[in-house]
Structure 1
């Protein structure tokens, strides 16, 4: 659902891992993608707080 109905916000590449942030309805979705093996490692959702704060200081490290 995140890939079809979510709104892409931005991505950050750190090594071989790309952190991608989407908004969907009233929450956020983070996707961790490993470019080296072409595989999604993790998908998680949250509504704010410390997790969202990690994405608010771009281009700082995640």
Structure 2
């Protein structure tokens, strides 16, 4: 099982907290870079939110043998 699959399983059921974490991480990066990369940070945040929404409701993949 890949690391991404493990993360998806851990986040399942905690989507709202994950979205808050995405916002908090973006705000942190913006603060550290003094807003220099805010456009790129916003794009990354949106892509992460889209991925999170796309993965909602999907059953976990079967374990690999």
Structure showing the higher strand proportion among its residues = 1
- Select the structure with the greater relative contact order (CA < 8 A; seq sep ≥ 6): 2
Which TM bucket (shorter chain)?
under 0.3
TM-score normalised per structure 1? 0.27
